[in-house]
A and B are shown apart, each in its own frame.
Chain A
Amino acid sequence: MASAPSSGVLRAPLVVEFPFTRSLGPVQSAFLTGLRERVVLGVKARDGRTLVPPVEYDPVTAEEIRDLVEVAATGTVTTWAWNHEPRRGQPLATPFAWVLVKLDGADTGLLHALDAPGPDAVRTGMRVRVRWAAERVGAITDIACFEPYEGERGARQGAPHSGEFAEPVTGIVAPARLDYTYSPGRAQTAYINALSAQKTVGERCPSCRKVYVPPRGACPTCGVATAERVEVGPRGTVTTYCIVNIKAKNLDIEVPYVYAHIALDGADLALHARIAGIPYDEVRMGLRVEPVWTEGGRFPDHYRPTGEPDADYDTYKELI
């Protein structure tokens, strides 16, 4: 729900959510498939270092690198940071340490979480091991986290590995979600508030005198702020249009229908809306139209002909 705080500017929650589907290169595929099988793979860089997590290209020479080796699931913390307030999506819901871990047999650090009782239990140089996730799919989260471990160093440090597994993982789907509080700013708040009273307001440029609808707070020609509020319409002129023949998903409008640019009387910029109340093949440039509001609508449902004579081309040619 939109709400207006003391400043009068509209605000509303906005959630941007998207699943990123990404393909994997041969090295990444071997590494993530290996995690599914509880095997940790590294790649040999040209300078002899074993990189874990492995990359497709050498970080120094940029050459393709493909020589895989297996490293242990035990290792040493090289740096850490205590996270007393875990955030959404992070590996553990209880306080934990972020760590870079150099696995036995590797020369570089892997970033992950360390499950430890408190910051006093964590230090650089401490020994840890992988805690595997119960369900593994071929993703970095197949490592649930690290845990303190004082036992033996794991075997399999640096042995060559083909990187071949049955049913290799070839891609990942990484869901992402970000939460915002959206505010349209002063000019568009005024526009939206006016619509709720079934009025359309634009703003006039103090320099070129053009009236912009909807207003964005600035004149794109003069590059100056617009502030003078001007009511326009309600009637207007069709400046151009198209006939829609493909039904849009989740939109209950019979095709074909007409979508048009409409220059409201007094506006110097056309806005767009659907035209109804006239056969689709009778809509034309210059047709005079007026808005039709539905009960509780936040904007006109569509525009319909007024019955006036068509507007002369010269009156709207600058707005096409």
Chain B
Amino acid sequence: MAPRKPSVMRPARDVAVVAFGQTDHLRSTDELSEVEMLMPVLHQVLAATGLRTSDIGFTCSGSCDYLAGRAFSFTMALDGVGAWPPISESHVEMDGAWALYEAWTALQTGEADTALVYSYGKSSPGSVRDVLTRQLDPYYLAPLWPDSVALAALQAQALIDAGETDEPALAGVARRSRADATANPHAQLSGSVAQGDYVVRPLRTGDCPPVGDGAAAVILAAGERARDLCERPAWIRGIDHRVEAHGLGVRDLTDSPSTRLAAERAGVFERPVDTAELHAPFTSQEVVLRKALRLGDDVTVNPSGGALAANPMMAAGLIRIGEAAARIHRGASHRAVAHATSGPCLQQNLVALLEGDTR
């Protein structure tokens, strides 16, 4: 069966990101329950649009109970949106970028004109490297407990062997990201950060994301409603998500065909973008994503510092979309690509293309 030629999927309805908020990302937030951590960002995006909870047509969240070891924690988090009387609501056990995809789909159907999307993750109560082994293939991988850094290190070594990068180049990605993060007041790790020792060779502490807690929220609106709520809406011109083959050893770890296909479908390659917010928790993954998205040196990559500056699990992907949208809101970007990932070695990838109105 020959793969179908990818084609650009045009949305049926214009939908835009009209507000974005995020917490300061911290190593630990013991004093706050998940809903207490989340509430301020929900209030922030509602205040930015003047909307009340009861005005929101659809609410969708992303989180993972394994991170903090709290069963059904997302039902508690719903307290923060004022879910009584009952609201139209859904949840994905994924990064909030996929919650945004579900909300975008709901707006495409015309069932709603506005959507609230939020996600949060508290990694501090557990050991995230070990927790993430539980998402792996339960027959062939999970019994070996290969942690998230080990799997990323296998990918990094494959890139080094292929001549696509080397340790100094990876250190350069780390340095640039943390330097850019000095302009991001929410960043957990910024400024001059030592590359440090190997965690799992060839990856050093500087190549790895900080572990921490945080939350983010976005409001989507369709058509004229978006223009009412936001001076310069960040229109989602295309959005798509794709997954790699299940087996790590089946994949070419130096490439990301799923990212490229999602970008193709979202229309990213039709015209150059000026900004890219990439969800690359490890320095080596930025190398893969730049290639897959065909980003030239003239593209501003991760001006926020990206996931190397703050990587709250389940929120860091949504934050990439939010950061790209916020740049459009303030006129710093006209056409931006945002990317989110999930699973080991960029297993699953979501790509969104955002644009401001032409002035």
Contact = CB atoms under 8 A, between A and B. Distances in A.
A219 B39 CA distance: 11
A79 B79 contact: no
A188 B250 contact: no
Contacts of A82: 153, 198, 200-201
B31 to A, nearest CB: 5
Main secondary structure of the interface of A (DSSP, over half): mixed
Interface in A98-147: 98-100, 102, 108-113, 119, 124, 139-141
B77 to A, nearest CB: 9
Interface residues of A, number: 70
Contact of A174 (B30, B84, B143): B143
A222 B201 CA distance: 50
B82 A222 contact: yes
Given A16-B69, A218-B79, A223-B81, A186 B248 contact: no
A10 to B, nearest CB: 9
Contacts of B229: none
Contacts of B248: 100, 109, 111
Interface string B28-41: 00111111100100
Interface of A: 5, 7, 9, 11, 14, 16, 20, 22, 24, 28, 32, 46, 51-53, 55, 59-61, 78-84, 87-91, 98-100, 102, 108-113, 119, 124, 139-141, 172, 174, 176, 178-188, 216-225
A98 B161 contact: no
Interface stretch (B104-112, B127-135, B233-241, B348-356): B127-135
A60 to B, nearest CB: 8
Nearest to B201: A82
B97 interface: no
Interface string B122-144: 00011101110110001111111
Contacts of A98: 146, 150-151, 153-154, 200
Contact of A216 (B79, B85, B249): B79
Contact of A224 (B39, B78, B134): B39
Q: Which of B36, B157, B245 has the most CB of A within 10 A?
A: B157
A141 B80 contact: no
B147 interface: yes
Contact of A20 (B83, B138, B200, B202): B138
Contacts of B202: 81
B125 A182 contact: yes
Interface in B227-282: 245-250, 253
Contacts of A83: 150, 200
Contacts of B33: 184-188, 216-217
Given A82-B200, A109-B248, A223 B69 contact: no
